[in-house]
Structure 1
Amino acid sequence: MSYVAGIDLGTSAVKVLLVDKHGNVKGEASSPLDMHVAAGGVREQNPDQWVDATIEALKKIVESVPEAATSIEGMSFSGQMHGLVLLDEKRQVLRPAMLWNDTRTSAECELIRTTLGEELYTYTKNPALEGFTLPKLLWVKAHEPDLFSKATSFVLPKDYLRYRLTGALHMEPSDAAGTLLFHPAKKAWSHEMCHALDIPVSMCPEIVLSTDEVGTLVRDVATQIGVSNDIKVFAGGADNACGALGAGIIAPGETLCSIGTSGVILSYEEQDIDVDGGVHFFNHAKDNVFYTMGVTLAAGYSLQWAKDQLAPNESFEALLDGIETIPPGSRGLLFTPFLNGERTPYSDASIRASWIGMDAEHTRVHLAKAVMEGITFSLNESLQLFRQAGKTINTVVSIGGGAKNPAWLQMQADIFNATVVSLENEQGPSLGAAIIAAAGCGWAPSIDMVVKKFVRRKQEFHPVKENVETYQNIFQLYQQVYKQTAEMCESLAVYRG
């Protein structure tokens, strides 16, 4: 029996999935990660911790599935995007990694916008946001100039991990697209961006494809894990790109709805596309295709917050009991999920959440359903942007917290006006990484055929015509709330402390 290993380097843990040639998960293990959090938006990790945690998780796999020691044919990686790892001429780490959720780079984002203007989108297809890698490079350059002068290259988290496991330093397009120094459609570093902001092009690593074999495990690492050092290692992809593979998003018209702490709407693209509203445009892990992506900052977090306030000592099931009996619109109650500001389509850090239309006859279940509807309306704003750009969206694969409740899945179908699909075995980015390894090992003639073998759909939810019409009317009201409350929320910000 042959296996592949999919390694997902997340923010809170490293997860490893062991998969056989039929797409069956034969083992999984994880190792936790720590994050340094400090005032001013500091979010950092020690890159060495990623290596230690990955080796630990792989050792757990071998211990639980002993035949894996001699049967892992290949491995690949999914990784948290945007994080900055700076290396010197000896490829030693110069400082802790600045993560995707490190927000101390607002001034650097403004510098990028004022320097590039409209050319920013021309060169990168993306807006300048605090999470991206380029603002972090500029922050180090401005605040730690001596250290920056020693830097000869930078990589993203999974690429540093892969380097430590193989000795080979590369980056691939799906992660490079999130640096703001890369042009997704050209699949090349943007020399214009580097020159405009005085970042040496030589710092940008060599680009390889996600399914390219970049080496084998170094002997010392293989010995620590307890496996052969001839395991083939493939480049892998960014977590969202791998998540798309793991959800089977590989054809036109297919879209992913992922509801975790934040929410993501990710739609497959076969060509360059212009979408207004701050939508991201990144490379897919599948070669020569792309995805557009919109983000709701407080998706599942909004429901968790509501549970903490309304039902702190009860389960989610208790909180949501009876929501299917409440008609669309929660009896005239609207919720906007702006608890932490909003990303798509507003990119507004000051906006805050609202319940609109509350009266004395609303009960806890009305409030809960309104929160779920508000989250889904926010995600629908990204879908609307895609459709306005000419995209056809007929199928939405739903994963995460939004896929755990049948009433919520039906609500998504009605608000999105599309067929919503749940998965039989939801494994996310780690399965996407395993798919890349399987394709690299030649387990099927194409990555699409690996996906079709590994990803199994469970249930379909179809839009109900009368609900679609009702939600379309309510959605128009939902979109007015931001316009009516943005200035008020900005004025209230001074009282938040």
Structure 2
Amino acid sequence: MSKRYLLGIDVGSSSVKTSLVDADSGKCAASAFFPEKEAPITAVKAGWAEQDPQMWWNNMKLGLKKIMADAGATAEDVKAIGISYQMHGLVCVDKDLQALRPSIIWCDSRAVPYGEKAFNDLGADQCLTHLLNSPGNFTAAKLAWVKENEPEIFDKIYKIMLPGDYIAMRLSGVANTTVSGLSEGMFWDFKNNQVADFLMKYYGFDSSLIADIVPTFGIQSEVSAAAASELGLKAGTPISYRGGDQPNKALSLNVLNPGEIAATAGTSGVVYGVLGEVNYDKQSRVNTFAHVNHTAQQTRLGVLLCINGTGILNAWVHRNITPDVGYAEMNDLAASVPIGSEGVTIVPFGNGAERVLENKEIGCSVNGLNFNKHNKAHLVRAAQEGIVFSFCYGMEIMQQMGMDIRNIHAGKANMFLSPLFRNTLAGVSGATIELYDTDGSVGAAKGAGMGAGIYKDNNEAFATLDKLQVIEPEEANRAEYLAAYARWKETLNEKL
């Protein structure tokens, strides 16, 4: 009996990960990522960041070859393809669908002045009510930079696309995009449910630059004969799902409904929540995009909170305060101190300007330290509590936008490996935390199964999602958690 596999491709800036998921068991049969060391990012000038789209394709090919061999899969076994990708990048192609220049990726900041000028010229009300964000440093502003600084390249552009659109185009020979993708680039007008003509006109972009719009879930295109020959896939295999990395991580954790949250806490922290009505933060401290299941009939917006100073603080504490023990022992040390760290408060924002603080850069600070009372255990605990409190501070903005936060879904990795971190987050937020074993490429594969009709809905697609642990709020300690958080907010407000 032949297998039914779903192929997931996750195009990151550090690597491209591929996975084959058995459609029937829901389990990952094989996965690989290339390069095995971090992929290069070219910075011609300070603040610039570019990658060659051909590099993504080459790394995808290497991963695909390995997982097909590891799973013993044939071309006929692959029934659908899903793509996840690094958000906000710009790829420009000519009429032959060849990239005209390296991709300007998400962490490139050259376009900031172009976004800020548009925000000021068009007005906050126009931008926020239609785009739900400032044009900021997103894809539209990056294209404006190309238009002004590389006019000879701009004149040759046939279509613009995001990194995931590019991979889909290479697979199919067809250029298309999604509403979710357009929204993350600031090309989507939520008020009029169409391409943001007012911003296109402001920047002087012709509407023909926008590729055809296809559903996020559905048969978007099919693998071409040329790509099938190059990759060892079957011509006609459907490409049936596409999502940016943060919306896709939420999908991977089965976060699709209002009030649900997907959280990650690595070097930086991300909280991504689903909103069931069109809304925005008037101070643009969080970003709002169309979630993967957003349609004209059903509003599903992804509210993205990114905090730079999270896990990087915990790593700094480990390196400089407890270098002689592992992270597990460090967590035990922190747990030996009462909730609230007996008055020590750490504000964790030492990794650059924070959008949640309206782009202020206030640095990291240790407060309330008593040399006769406190030791390194207090500092370790206060650091983890400070990271949790920064999450909760951002989540309050989401609640002000109308989000009722009841569940936080996360992968069991990074800071979520710490019981203290998990219990504090549940204790302050009052939300139940569910930890899962999944990743972006597996989520993209299951998204492909939904889009191709192999799964009838998300509940069937994620029925086999491994729930590793559930953390309920500790009601007995809730008052102590909230008191510590209130003291942290007082300290933060003094510095703002």
TM-score, normalized by the shorter chain, greater than 0.5:
yes
Quickly say closer, same or farther: Cα 1:316–1:129, change in 2 above 3 A: farther
Q: Do structure 1's residue 388 and structure 2's residue 400 form an aligned pair?
A: yes
Q: Do structure 1's residue 413 and structure 2's residue 420 form an aligned pair?
A: no
Quickly say closer, same or farther: Cα 1:154–1:313, change in 2 above 3 A: farther
Partner of 1:335: 346
Partner of 2:251: 245
Q: 1:23 aligns with which of 13, 22, 26?
A: 26
Q: Which amino acid aligns with 1:283?
A: A
| SS state at 1:271 partner | coil
Q: Tell me the distance in 1 between the aligned counterparts of 2:144 and 2:490.
A: 37
Quickly say closer, same or farther: Cα 1:140–1:314, change in 2 above 3 A: farther
Q: Which amino acid aligns with 1:6?
A: G
Q: 1:283 aligns with which of 290, 296, 307?
A: 290
Q: 1:353 aligns with which of 364, 381, 387?
A: 364
Q: Tell whether the 8 Å contact from 2:130 to 2:191 is kept in structure 1 after alignment.
A: no
Quickly say closer, same or farther: Cα 1:153–1:145, change in 2 above 3 A: same
Partner of 2:482: 472
Partner of 2:466: 456
Please say which of residues 463-472 and 90-99 is displaced more in the overlay. Answer: 463-472
Q: Do structure 1's residue 124 and structure 2's residue 136 form an aligned pair?
A: no
Gap regions ≥5 residues in structure 2: none
Q: Tell whether the 8 Å contact from 2:389 to 2:488 is kept in structure 1 after alignment.
A: yes
Q: 1:2 aligns with which of 1, 4, 18?
A: 4
- Compute the displacement of 1:68 (Å): 4.2
TM-score w.r.t. the length of structure 1 is 0.92
Q: Which amino acid aligns with 2:473?
A: P
Q: Which amino acid aligns with 1:115?
A: D
Over the residues paired in the alignment, what is the CA RMSD in angstroms?
2.0
Quickly say closer, same or farther: Cα 1:480–1:199, change in 2 above 3 A: farther
Q: 1:87 aligns with which of 87, 93, 107?
A: 93
Quickly say closer, same or farther: Cα 1:226–1:414, change in 2 above 3 A: same
TM-score w.r.t. the length of structure 2 is 0.92
Q: Do structure 1's residue 225 and structure 2's residue 231 form an aligned pair?
A: yes
Q: Tell me the distance in 2 between the aligned counterparts of 1:229 and 1:152.
A: 25
Q: Which amino acid aligns with 2:491?
A: V
Quickly say closer, same or farther: Cα 1:458–1:190, change in 2 above 3 A: same
Partner of 2:417: 404
Q: Which amino acid aligns with 1:46?
A: D
Q: Tell me the distance in 1 between the aligned counterparts of 2:264 and 2:476.
A: 25
- Compute the displacement of 1:466 (Å): 4.3
| SS state at 2:330 partner | helix
| SS state at 1:48 partner | helix
Q: Tell me the distance in 2 between the aligned counterparts of 1:141 and 1:74.
A: 37
Partner of 2:377: 365
Please say which of residues 166-175 and 315-324 is displaced more in the overlay. Answer: 315-324
Quickly say closer, same or farther: Cα 1:151–1:312, change in 2 above 3 A: farther
Quickly say closer, same or farther: Cα 1:276–1:480, change in 2 above 3 A: farther
Q: Tell me the distance in 2 between the aligned counterparts of 1:170 and 1:373.
A: 44
The superposition leaves residues 410-434 of structure 1 with CA deviations (integer Å, 9 ceiling, x where unpaired) of 11101211111111x222x212211
Q: Which amino acid aligns with 1:398?
A: A
Q: Tell me the distance in 2 between the aligned counterparts of 1:365 and 1:175.
A: 45
- Compute the displacement of 1:464 (Å): 1.6
- Compute the displacement of 1:235 (Å): 3.8
Please say which of residues 11-20 and 477-486 is displaced more in the overlay. Answer: 477-486
Q: Any residues of structure 2 matched to 1:3-402 within 5 Å, and which?
A: 3-20=5-22, 21-32=24-35, 33-118=39-124, 119-130=126-137, 132-184=138-190, 187-278=193-284, 279-288=286-295, 289-312=300-323, 314-360=325-371, 361-399=373-411, 400-402=413-415
Q: Tell whether the 8 Å contact from 2:172 to 2:223 is kept in structure 1 after alignment.
A: yes
Q: Tell whether the 8 Å contact from 1:266 to 1:292 is kept in structure 2 after alignment.
A: yes
Q: Tell whether the 8 Å contact from 2:349 to 2:361 is kept in structure 1 after alignment.
A: no
The superposition leaves residues 107-138 of structure 1 with CA deviations (integer Å, 9 ceiling, x where unpaired) of 212212211112111220012333x1122112
Q: Tell me the distance in 2 between the aligned counterparts of 1:441 and 1:47.
A: 26
Q: Tell me the distance in 2 between the aligned counterparts of 1:306 and 1:343.
A: 20
The superposition leaves residues 222-243 of structure 1 with CA deviations (integer Å, 9 ceiling, x where unpaired) of 2333332232212411111111
Quickly say closer, same or farther: Cα 1:359–1:38, change in 2 above 3 A: farther
Q: Which amino acid aligns with 1:34?
A: P
| SS state at 2:352 partner | coil
Q: Tell whether the 8 Å contact from 1:393 to 1:418 is kept in structure 2 after alignment.
A: yes
Q: Tell me the distance in 1 between the aligned counterparts of 2:96 and 2:358.
A: 39
The superposition leaves residues 443-495 of structure 1 with CA deviations (integer Å, 9 ceiling, x where unpaired) of 222234323x2423222111122432223233233223344224xxxxxxxxx
Q: Tell me the distance in 2 between the aligned counterparts of 1:245 and 1:93.
A: 30
Q: Tell whether the 8 Å contact from 2:16 to 2:60 is kept in structure 1 after alignment.
A: yes
Q: Percent identity?
A: 26
- Compute the displacement of 1:50 (Å): 0.7
Quickly say closer, same or farther: Cα 1:38–1:479, change in 2 above 3 A: farther
Q: Tell me the distance in 2 between the aligned counterparts of 1:477 and 1:185.
A: 40
- Compute the displacement of 1:340 (Å): 2.2
- Compute the displacement of 1:394 (Å): 1.3
Q: Tell whether the 8 Å contact from 2:351 to 2:363 is kept in structure 1 after alignment.
A: yes
Count the aligned residue pairs. Answer: 482
- Compute the displacement of 1:91 (Å): 2.4
Q: Tell me the distance in 2 between the aligned counterparts of 1:50 and 1:483.
A: 43
| SS state at 1:224 partner | helix
